[in-house]
């Protein structure tokens, strides 16, 4: 086992494809019926997560955006299965540093990813050529109109990769999320720590900038547990 794994560091080059379930989103972001029904909702950096398809099946209005959607369903399926295998192997090396109560075990964690990927692929294939639910786009410039979404969600991107993206990128990304968010709407981002298990050090300055722009931000508790120290999400309310 490599020294970094002994230290509990998850090694990742580039941005991994995320394959998370609807229930994980609900738990990560403390999503209530009230906020889900306001719509429309944007899932940024959604990857192959099944939140959009499952939410739409419940009658929600949700759009997912990710540069991944330039690819064909078969390509994403192959890539997703490969990344799930690779990530499971990496997690096995640092399993002692993680909290397993939520998933139960590494095997169940893998099965959860596989189920999410399967649901996503079916929905993505049905949406192919229509492009209504799955839109190709990349922060810090998104292909949406101003003030379009009542809720913007960002799962396991931004702060998780603070070693790869600098302070200016994070500021530009937040500004773009604010642009597409409706006045009175919310942005929720999780987690607030990086793959190195360290909190995003520039978060206080970022929150000060948000306040300077005339909006409000706060750290809100989440019941979701996996990464040690990832106990809150960032909530931004657009004025």
C-alpha distances out from residue 90 to 81, 157, 162, Å = 14, 18, 19
Sign of the dihedral defined by the CA atoms of residues 134, 137, 141, 144, in that order: negative
With respect to residue 125, please indicate whether it lies within any of the assigned structural domains: yes
pLDDT range class, residue 5, cuts 50, 70, 90: very low
**Angle subtended at Cα 82 by Cα 80 and Cα 86, rounded to the nearest 5 degrees:** 115
With respect to residue 35, please indicate whether it lies within any of the assigned structural domains: yes
- Domain residues for 52? 17-237
Model pTM?
0.93
Q: Are 53 and 59 in contact (CB under 8 A)?
A: no
pLDDT of residue 7: 56
With respect to residue 6, please indicate whether it lies within any of the assigned structural domains: no
Q: How many domains does the chain have?
A: 1
The 10s digit of each residue's pLDDT in 116-167 is 999 999 999 999 767 689 999 999 999 999 999 999 999 999 999 888 899 9
With respect to residue 143, please indicate whether it lies within any of the assigned structural domains: yes
With respect to residue 205, please indicate whether it lies within any of the assigned structural domains: yes
Q: Bridge-partner residues for 131, per DSSP?
A: none
Rg (alpha carbons) of the chain, rounded to whole number: 17
- Strands 181-190 and 232-237, bridge-based pairing: antiparallel
The 10s digit of each residue's pLDDT in 46-105 is 999 999 999 999 999 999 999 999 999 999 999 999 999 999 999 999 999 999 999 999
What dihedral angle (degrees, nearest 10) is formed by the CA atoms of 28, 32, 37, 38? -80
Task: CATH number of the domain at 93, please.
Answer: 3.40.50.150
The 10s digit of each residue's pLDDT in 157-206 is 999 988 889 999 999 999 999 999 999 999 999 999 998 889 999 999 99
With respect to residue 8, please indicate whether it lies within any of the assigned structural domains: no
Q: Is the pLDDT of residue 13 over 90?
A: no
With respect to residue 30, please indicate whether it lies within any of the assigned structural domains: yes
With respect to residue 11, please indicate whether it lies within any of the assigned structural domains: no
pLDDT of residue 4: 42
């Amino acid at each position: 086992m490599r020294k970094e794994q002994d230290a509990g560091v998850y090694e990742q080059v580039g941005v991994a494809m995320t394959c998370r379930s609807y229930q994980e989103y609900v738990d990560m972001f403390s999503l209530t019926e009230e906020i889900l029904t306001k719509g429309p909702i944007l899932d940024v950096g959604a990857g192959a997560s099944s939140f959009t398809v499952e939410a739409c099946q419940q009658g929600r209005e949700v759009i997912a955006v990710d540069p991944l959607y330039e690819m064909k369903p078969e390509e994403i399926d192959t890539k997703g299965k490969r990344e799930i295998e690779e990530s499971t192997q990496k997690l096995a090396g640092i399993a002692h540093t993680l909290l397993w109560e939520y998933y139960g075990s590494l095997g169940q964690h893998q099965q959860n990813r596989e189920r999410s990927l399967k649901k996503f692929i079916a929905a993505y294939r049905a949406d192919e050529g229509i492009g209504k639910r799955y839109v190709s786009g990349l922060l810090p410039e998104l292909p949406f109109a101003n003030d379009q979404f009542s809720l913007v969600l960002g799962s396991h991107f931004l702060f998780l990769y603070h070693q790869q993206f600098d302070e200016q990128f994070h500021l530009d990304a937040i500004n773009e999320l604010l642009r597409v968010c409706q006045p009175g709407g919310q942005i929720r981002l999780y987690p607030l720590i990086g793959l190195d298990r360290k909190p995003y050090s520039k978060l206080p300055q970022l929150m000060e900038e948000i306040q300077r722009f005339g909006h409000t931000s706060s750290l809100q508790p989440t019941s979701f547990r996996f990464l040690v120290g990832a106990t809150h999400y960032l909530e931004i309310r657009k004025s």
